[in-house]
Structure 1
Amino acid sequence: MLPKDKEEALEGKIDSLQSYIHSPQKQKTLYKRTLFVVSISQIFGGAGLAAGVTVGALLAQQMLGTDAYAGLPSALLTLGSAGAALFVGRLSQAFGRRTGLATGFMIGGLGATGVIIAAIINSIFLLFASLLIYGAGTATNLQARYAGTDLANSKQRATAISMTMVFTTFGAVAGPNLVNVMGKFALSVGIPSLAGPFILAAAAYILAGVFLFIMLRPDPFVIAKMIEVTNQKPSNNGQMETIEQTKNKRGIIVGATIMVLTQIVMVAVMTMTPVHMIHHGHGLGEVGLVIGFHIGAMYLPSLVTGILVDKLGRTVMAIAAGTTLLLAGLIAALAPGDNMILLVMALSLLGIGWNFGLISGTALIVDSTETSTRAKSQGTVDVLIALAGATGGAMSGIIVSVSSYPTLSLVGAIISLLLIPVVIWSRGGKIV
């Protein structure tokens, strides 16, 4: 038995949580608070994500002395994020978003610290191991978008997703543009310059984890589960339940398909762009600028994307994603390597297409899952997204090494074009 004071404290906590169940006003207030807290954490998370993405391939290229494996860091990062997505999803299902997200960000910060040490001692083995762990930050940053939907109704879900992603923009754009600053800082303290951005990543991920752990109370997912259990009504219609389950499975498949294909294209082209630029005489500052535009385009359109997904429909915006990625691939393939304007345009369109695909696909996943299994299902889908990114990252270096960057961009354009018939077919030929 618990001591009386602890038992009373526990009962008070339970009563406090239960007060949300029958109070739409308290639910609405918590929904807004959750969006605010998650959005602030995304500023730090975005900085941690972007800093590592910008120089990961360059660091591996420098340590290995070849381009053939320059896509490997991205592959390892996304492979690590696959395992982390499953872990964070299951942790969130069992203990709530607060525990799952805070833990994921902390692990990501540990991985970034490992990358710094690997650069100092020039250990390629430690670099690759640390990049796997660093992937936890990427997975957590992505899964945080779900937290805003826990108390949102069906007409608010895409908008809630987009609101949290908008705030990622601030950190995501700042990260690449601090490459030179962090590089100089790293050199001043005896650390290789390319490890500098990972100093920022480590600090950003740890701050995001601490902030969520302290501020995400009460946990929106715990409240959502309690509401679902309370409002659950027994059903005697087995046929209706079967139809609903089939519809939900289809929605999950469609949502996952959208996000997997857009992730492959985005990661593949983005990963090799810094290497392509360095080969054409661009400096780290220019690489940071292009990647900054790209990552900004991944998140900033969220200001309107969520509203469009809720108003126009999930499939319409998924088709828009495929069309935008197709255009991005064609421009990247045809742009001269020394033309900054066309590279910025191509990478910006690449980010916008990814944004359309992620928000429309995520909304479909939320629409098609029940709270009792939602976080676990979301984690599983994010595993597929991460594995898709790992595939894109690993293949990108090989394709460029064997052929060229324009060839890689054309392959990305073709894959993105496949998204359109797949989505229409999956929705029974209806664009809704």
Structure 2
Amino acid sequence: MSAAATVLGPEAVRTLQRRTTAVLIVSQILGGLGVPMGIALAPVLATEVSGTEALSGLAPTASVAGTALLSIPLAALMTSRGRRPGLVLAYLIGALGAGLVVLAAVIGNFPLLLLGMAGFGAASSANLQARFAAADLAPPDRRARAISTVVWATTIGAVLGPNIAAPAGRGFAGTSIPQTAGPFLWAAGIFLITGLVVAVLLRPDPLLTARALAPPESQSAEGRSLRAGITAVKASPHARLALVTVAATHTVMVSIMVMTPVDLGHHGAGLELVGLVISGHIAGMYAFSPVMGWLSDRIGRLAVIGLAVGLLSFAALLAGTAGPSHAQTAAGLFVLGLGWSAGLVSGSALLTDSVPQQARAAVQGLSDLTMNTAAGIGGAAAGLIVSQAGYGWLNAIGACLLLPMATLALLAARRPPTSPVKAEFNSDLKTDQD
């Protein structure tokens, strides 16, 4: 038993977990307010600055690429120094990126806009990594619920963000800042405040505490490298399934979502309506995540992964056949958010369950790199697909991307059960780690 374990008893660990969760909830509300502004307006702003709709998908893609590229260095920083320094740095980079987006819009420089969106993506990386921070001190049978609670906290800011984008933009009327760029200036300020909250209040660091509480044999620094993380994933079928789940889920969601504002514009929707549709989508992503977490802990990770496949496929059908029906498009985007929530929560919990404690930070960084790289490619292709074939084909292709995820989940489900249903994966995952 480690020295920390003798100082922190079970009740003290639970108290620390509650405090950590509360701080993460505050940061997610604030971060969730800033990030969706960019999500809602990036394709429109890219079209304005570049002068062509064919490049509209590159702005959100640059954001996703920035999130992906920063995942590994941020994970490395967290591995060596803890969650707090990594989250603070990510929000600072996000604020800098938002400022560059505003400057690019003012001077009409498209490459600078893409650079700014890449930096803006660091804030998304912080929001994603926060879900793993919530799981650091959570017991295994409540790990999915811990993740989902922090994901849920994003709902408040995420739903408000797109809806205040238009008023935030109008606040810069009469200045040299375009209305579609004004919200990014607000986002920069929000990210700075969020970073300050994390820097001051996320103490003691949850990852470092969890590591100190772990058995001495699992505290070797050699097991914390990216190479060790890759080895851990290769050794666990469940970890591989988890990686595919979060990557496919995120790619389908991003690819469809980033082009929906453009499709709505084709059918006469204004900025306010676009904001409402994106708000409904984000509500689906976050508001029901506690349900997904409860289901994942209660009936198992694979069952919720199967639910994610079904929801995402249905969403692609609704959105892809909506045409001029704004209500059907909104319904499709809401279901798309539900499917993303199911896949992200269950996949993240499965990934954390499936690898040794000392390798988790590296594996979690690898997960975010994989999911955001895939989503970045999907987002870049989405603009070209819509411009050449249409929004309906984009949704059809998105549904096809779910096939590997569904196949691996079915193969895993055919393994003979070794325990009651609700404990099925706990025993299987213990075997993986052994």
| Alignment correspondent of 2:33 | 47
**Partner residue of 1:107 out of 93, 106, 128:** 93
**Partner residue of 1:305 out of 292, 298, 311:** 292
Q: Which amino acid aligns with 2:39?
A: V
Structure exhibiting the larger radius of gyration computed from Cα positions: 1
Give the superposition deviation at 1:347.
0.1
| Alignment correspondent of 1:57 | 43
How much identity, in percent, do the aligned residues show? 36
* Residue 134 (str. 1) matches residue 137 (str. 2): no
| Alignment correspondent of 1:411 | 397
**Partner residue of 1:336 out of 297, 300, 323:** 323
Distance 1:23 1:297 in 2: 38
* Residue 268 (str. 1) matches residue 246 (str. 2): no
| Alignment correspondent of 1:29 | 15
Contact conserved, 2:78 with 2:84, CA < 8 A, in 1? yes
Deviations for 1:162-212, whole angstroms, at most 9, x for unmatched residues?
A: 000111001111110012111101224431001022122212221111100
Distance 1:124 1:245 in 2: 41
| Alignment correspondent of 1:9 | none
Deviations for 1:116-165, whole angstroms, at most 9, x for unmatched residues?
A: 11111111121111111111111111111001111111101000000001
Give the superposition deviation at 1:245.
6.1
| Alignment correspondent of 1:90 | 76
Give the superposition deviation at 1:246.
8.0
Give 3-state SS (helix, strand or coil) of 2:157's partner: helix
Deviations for 1:303-359, whole angstroms, at most 9, x for unmatched residues?
A: 21111000010010001001000000001111122x221111000000000000000
Give 3-state SS (helix, strand or coil) of 1:156's partner: helix
Contact conserved, 1:186 with 1:195, CA < 8 A, in 2? no
Give the superposition deviation at 1:289.
0.4
Deviations for 1:77-121, whole angstroms, at most 9, x for unmatched residues?
A: 111111111121111110001111111111111111110111111
**Partner residue of 1:281 out of 268, 285, 289:** 268
Contact conserved, 1:47 with 1:200, CA < 8 A, in 2? no
Contact conserved, 2:307 with 2:339, CA < 8 A, in 1? yes
Distance 1:79 1:377 in 2: 18
Contact conserved, 1:263 with 1:354, CA < 8 A, in 2? yes
* Residue 185 (str. 1) matches residue 185 (str. 2): no
Contact conserved, 1:256 with 1:384, CA < 8 A, in 2? yes
Contact conserved, 2:63 with 2:117, CA < 8 A, in 1? yes
Give 3-state SS (helix, strand or coil) of 2:204's partner: coil
Give the superposition deviation at 1:229.
4.0
| Alignment correspondent of 1:370 | 356
Distance 1:342 1:429 in 2: 39
Give the superposition deviation at 1:385.
0.6
Q: Say which is worse superposed, 412-421 or 266-275, in terms of deviation.
A: 412-421
| Alignment correspondent of 1:252 | 239
Distance 2:212 2:392 in 1: 52
| Alignment correspondent of 2:162 | 176
Give the superposition deviation at 1:424.
1.7
1:125-164 → structure 2 map (5 Å cutoff): 125-164=111-150
| Alignment correspondent of 2:340 | 354
Contact conserved, 1:268 with 1:389, CA < 8 A, in 2? yes
Distance 1:52 1:117 in 2: 15
| Alignment correspondent of 1:4 | none
TM-score (norm 2): 0.90
**Partner residue of 2:206 out of 195, 215, 220:** 220
Stretches of structure 2 that go unaligned for 5 or more consecutive residues are 221-230, 418-423, 425-434
Distance 2:354 2:135 in 1: 13
Q: Which amino acid aligns with 1:331?
A: L
Distance 2:300 2:105 in 1: 46
**Partner residue of 1:397 out of 364, 380, 383:** 383
Give the superposition deviation at 1:416.
2.6
Give 3-state SS (helix, strand or coil) of 1:68's partner: helix
Give the superposition deviation at 1:422.
2.5
RMSD: 2.1
* Residue 423 (str. 1) matches residue 409 (str. 2): yes
Contact conserved, 2:140 with 2:353, CA < 8 A, in 1? yes
Distance 2:326 2:6 in 1: 53
Distance 1:297 1:399 in 2: 25
Distance 2:373 2:316 in 1: 21
Contact conserved, 1:162 with 1:306, CA < 8 A, in 2? yes
Distance 1:95 1:351 in 2: 33
Give 3-state SS (helix, strand or coil) of 1:217's partner: coil
